[in-house]
Amino acid sequence: MTVKFALPTGDPRPAVGAMLEGAGIATSGYEPSSRQLRSVLDDAGLTLRVFREKDIPIQVALGNYDLGICGDIWLSELQVRFPLQRVVRIGSLPGPRHEVWLCAAPESGLAEGQVPARRALAGARIVSELPNLADLASVHLRIQAYRLITVYGSADAYPPEDADLVLMPARDADAVRAKGLVPLHRVFSGGIALIANADALAARDLAPILGNLAPLFIPDQPVLSFPASQEGVALTTSRPDPATLRLALPDGHAQRHTPSALREAGLEFEGYNEQSYVRRPISGIPGLAVKVVRPQDMPQLVAMGMFDIAISGRDLLHEHLSKFPGSPVEMAVDLGTNRYRIGPVVDAAFPAETTAEAVTIWNHLGRRVRIASEFPATAERFARDHHLQDTTIIPVAGASEGFVPEDADFLVEGTETGTSIRANGLKMLDPFMESTACVIVRRDPVTKQTALLADLIRRFQRAAAAVPAV
């Protein structure tokens, strides 16, 4: 019998690997430097699979994995919405604690620990990458007609212009202050948890692993705490000025490529370069305001009228339009940089070399075809376009290469060099899209600065013309 164990990638990986090794649990392939996301250890009766943390509780709850290690934040984010899922928290493991804070901008007029009165919160805009916890906190506060803005991250960037309250992970109150926000209430506190699928726990022999880890358990439990509104406490809100043109620039991986495109367009913003950024770079152009956010959120933000123009990616725009075909956002300029291919990715041993051959095989499996992707709407559109007869789309947060072949039949995945795909024993069939950095706008602009908007688009068109043809 093989036990399937889901482990986190990213920051927790070195500490979790060292902890497992110290407990006498085989970890070959889980070294921090390894690109492998799946490791079968036959001698130990163990299969290790590496996930983004937020995917681990879901995979364990579904029964795809018997055991998992993840942050309590992500377990709670699942359980507050789906309390009957078949996932059990076994115990706390040593590691850093993390918190979730309700916070606001200093411009809100709130002092630390102050939560506005219910009347003052009516219609509040709340931004979070933890929408289930944010919803639960909003319901407990009994906020009328609140508006939840779900983002991939960088939630601290949004107040005061684009959100009134933020619910975000932070190490502690000092970390909230370091982001320039006012900590109002600690909604959640938790550490690292060992979790199990309830059915596997009842039916399978997990004792060898549980026995090795049990001596490491610490007497710690996650704490969920809801704020209470305080009568007489007001909330000062602000809105973007339509007389200002708002430009969104990307943080993260895309940031490396953006400053050079800006320079080609004759634009430089103080506080934004290849190595660092501030959330609100100085534009130096009258009537133009700049903010740095996640590129994944940009199509939604431009469609909602929160920004007038943004530098995002064609893949992200395609995902947005696949989900919302009537959205008013569109590409204004293809900048031609940050190129990578997107296509179906299968196991290297899969007996097909083209998408057409693969579709024939998939349609004769006699069961649903499982497609995992960070671009679930794009994956669904791919399935329709290629007439796949019966599919299940598995949205994932990343580290998707490890899903094939056990947990998915193929991926809809992007790659720049193919290194990670090959390292995990996979191959890409026919790419159906080449993604590049692009400028996106709203078809019906919100801003009154339409002449400035047209000038920026012309600048970016000149920058795109300077990119060497591939």
What predicted TM-score, i.e. pTM, was given to this entire model? 0.93
Are 332 and 210 within one domain?
A: no
Q: Does residue 234 belong to any structural domain of this protein? A: no
Each residue's pLDDT tens digit, 99-140? 999 999 999 999 999 999 999 999 999 999 999 999 999 999
Are 168 and 19 within one domain?
A: no
Which residue among 147, 166, 188 closes a domain?
188
Are 427 and 440 within one domain?
A: no
Q: How many helices (H) and strands (E) would you count in the chain?
A: 15, 23
d(CA 236, CA 110): 8
Each residue's pLDDT tens digit, 25-41? 988 888 888 888 888 88
Helix (H) or strand (E) holding 281: strand 277-282
Question: In the prediction, which pLDDT does 470 show?
Answer: 62
Concatenate the DSSP letters of all residues of 48-71 into one string. Answer: EEEE-GGGHHHHHHTTS-SEEEEE
* 274: CATH: 3.40.190.10
Q: Does residue 240 belong to any structural domain of this protein? A: no
Q: How many structural domains is the chain composed of? A: 4
Amino acid at the residue 330: E
Are 197 and 91 within one domain?
A: yes
For the chain, which ranges sit under pLDDT 70? 1, 469-470
Are 335 and 203 within one domain?
A: no
Are 320 and 376 within one domain?
A: no
Are 358 and 421 within one domain?
A: yes
Residue-number span of the structural domain to which 430 is assigned: 340-435
Are 319 and 445 within one domain?
A: yes
Are 335 and 359 within one domain?
A: no
Q: Give the relative orientation of helices 314-323 and 376-385 as an angle to the nearest 10 degrees.
A: 70
Judge contact between 305 and 446, C-beta under 8 A: yes
Q: Does residue 224 belong to any structural domain of this protein? A: no
Each residue's pLDDT tens digit, 333-392? 999 988 999 999 999 999 999 999 999 999 999 999 999 999 999 999 999 999 999 999
